[in-house]
Amino acid sequence: MNVYSAAQYLAFVVVVTLFVKPLGGYMNRVFSRRKTAMDSLWVPVERWIYRFTGVDPAVEMSAGQYAACFVVFGLVCTLLLYAILRFQRYLPWFFPGYLTTPLSPDLSFNTAISFSTTTTWQAYAGETTMSYFSQMVGLCTQNFLAGAAGLAVGIAFIRGLARQNTETLGNFWVDLTRSLLWILLPGALLGSVPLIWQGVPMNFHHYVVATTLEGAKQIIPQGPVAALEIIKNLGTNGGGFFNANGAHPYENPTPLTNFLEMLSIVLLPAALTNTFGRMVRQPRQGWLLYSVMLFLFTCGLIALHFSEQYGNPLLPDVDSRQSQLQPGGNMEGKEVRFGIGGSALTGIVTSNGATGSSNATDDSFTPLGGLVLLINLLLGEIVFGGLGTGLFSMVMTAAIPVFLAGLMIGRTPEYLGKKIGPRENKMIILYALAGPLSILTLTAAAISTQAGLAGLTTNNGAHGLTEIVFGFASSFANNGQSFGGLSANTPFYNIMTAVAMMVGRFGLAIPALIFAGHFAQQKRILRSRGTLRTDSFSFGFLLTIFLIVATALSYLPVLTLGPVLEHLLFKA
């Protein structure tokens, strides 16, 4: 590993860790309705919104009511976005000469669900499909709303674990409003300034037609790129203004913007671990979860870097060592501006962070490199993860080793001083089974039907299987990344990936909220000598081992037939 890559990785980890406590404390104050520096600006706006919408901020909701509001809000946003996409040719800033990809009903349906679930799976090229109006009013707005809804659910989940002897988790509309006004809007405004400074466009100009040195005509799209770029990362969405996403010089012009954009993905989900520790009044619990996330993140980063630096074993004459004259390793599909270090950091951040942005072609990674990204998706958004969803994913997963450890020591399993009984276990099982059932079932349907196999236009065999599994895993994880060799703009994949997105969004949030609702009803019991400490190194080790083993038990066969087999064939 070269010095530049190592320094970049270390700087990233240090900066994220330094921001965990202050950001976590800020979010705790925001959602506990304690005084913040932003109150003078946003409290009048918040009151006006409640008067206009008829929301009573003093009325709290049960877990079922909170979940119902979350689902209804998502469905309404989906319908509104679908209408914008279907009628975009009649709306402002539509250039028919350049927007040549038709938005069919199934593609519009898929895209609407994609952005309303923070998946931002893109089976289209943005610059030839979406008008400026669709990008700003449709997609950019949905990035804010969907991200805020996810954060609201995460906060409600934490409240359920923190409260006792109550039936309520808060008010969804209040949490949604505060997520927008106090978190996402200020973050987007602050984050967009350095991007514009570094050269990311923010305009509504007509497309520019340039003449190349060879005399050919080149069409250069313009548009409000900076506005979409920052919220796609901050809200853990990931949809790019351009088809090339973060590899496009307009979206990601310099190594500095690449670093800042990756920070914007991780900072809020990482800080939520501190918010969690503060709200349950056990800060060590939050730091334990952050430590496990950081350990898995670091392992993945190292594994991906060396898998790409080693290169392709079928090309033995290529020197994999980095020098002043060459980057070394597997540079296929990677931007020379960022090299292996910048692409590895982006790959790990985005595959862990539920943000489908990319600055390299995932399909061109080595088999082991692609395996690392796929495992991150299959882990289920537990390493930082989506905004709000990553935190409850980690806690719901941690409840399983708590239950198993409780059985082994002959005690009723407890977490945060509350018992995990039959009601809670049912929600945990529903949560745990949703991923394997959805991903493997949809993959089986794709590889056993002509419509599914038709998407493999460039690859088949082990790599083709990996492309299909990766597509459904990404959709279920509400991530949005894809292997470019899978042609997904067909009715089959537009519908099937939409199903995976909805299960990954609502099929996980609803059990998590109900689980939190059951916890909120309990009275916290005092810790005794027999209580399993869930803030200790030993529990962190147990949790880490469980995450690895559980993922392997669920997906090892399909991983063996996909990237592992491809790697073995490479070495044969």
At 38-61, the pLDDT tens digits run 999 999 999 999 999 999 999 999
- What are the angstrom distances between the C-alpha of 405 and each of 419, 519, 538? 13, 19, 11
Among 98-102, 155-159, 419-423, 515-519, the minimum mean pLDDT is found in 98-102
pLDDT higher than threshold 80 for residue 119: yes
- Residue 356's nearest CA partner among 376, 336, 339, 342 is 376
Q: What is the mean pLDDT of residues 312-335?
A: 66
Domain boundaries, the chain: 406-529+548-571
Question: Which pLDDT belongs to residue 400?
Answer: 87
Q: Which of 45-59, 116-130, 236-250, 350-364 has the highest mean pLDDT?
A: 45-59
266 vs 239, higher pLDDT: 266
Separation of CA 229 from chain center = 15
Q: What gap in Å lies between CA 240 and CA 247, rounded to an integer?
A: 10
Q: Nearest CA to 93 among 52, 150, 138, 51?
A: 138
Least confidently predicted of 46-50, 343-347, 476-480, 566-570: 566-570
CB atoms within 10 A of CB 21: 17
pLDDT at 315 over 70: no
> For residues 161 and 418, what is the distance between their CA atoms, to the nearest angstrom?
9
Stretch among 39-48, 102-111, 355-364 having the lowest mean pLDDT: 355-364
Residue-level length of the chain: 572
Does the pLDDT at position 215 exceed 60?
yes
Rounded CA separation 505/476 (Å): 8
For residue 313, the model assigns a pLDDT of 65
The whole-chain average pLDDT of the chain stands at 87
In the numeric block, which tokens belong to residue 538? 């030993």
Q: For residue 72, how many C-alpha atoms fall within 13 Å in the half-sphere facing its CB?
A: 8
- What confidence tens digit (pLDDT) does each residue in 497-554 have? 999 999 999 999 999 999 999 999 998 887 776 677 888 888 889 889 988 888 888 8
Q: Is the pLDDT of residue 240 over 80?
A: no
Quote the pLDDT of residue 133.
85
Among the listed residues 377, 378, 403, 424, the one whose alpha carbon sits nearest the alpha carbon of residue 553: 378
DSSP letter for each residue of 292-330: HHHHHHHHHHHHHHHHHHH--TT-TTS--S--SS---S-
Q: How far is CA 558 from CA 17, 32, 300, 403, in A?
A: 35, 44, 20, 28
Distances (CA, A) of 488 to 60, 100, 124, 495, 511: 42, 18, 9, 10, 30
Predicted local confidence at residue 322, as pLDDT? 63
pLDDT at residue 325 tops 60 = no
Q: How confident is the model at residue 65 (pLDDT cuts 50, 70, 90)?
A: very high
Spatial contact of 232 and 120, defined as CB atoms under 8 Å apart = yes
Residue 380: pLDDT band with limits 50, 70, 90 = confident
- Tokens in use for 248? 């496009």
Using DSSP's 3-state secondary structure scheme, residue 211 falls into strand
Residue 120, pLDDT above cutoff 70: yes
- Residue by residue, DSSP assigns 507-564 as HHHHHHHHHHHHHHHSPPPPP-TTSPPTTSHHHHHHHHHHHHHHHHHHHHHHHIIIII
Q: H-helix or E-strand containing 217?
A: strand 217-220
Average pLDDT over residues 165-182: 93
Residue 336 has pLDDT above 90, yes or no: no
pTM over the 0.85 mark: yes
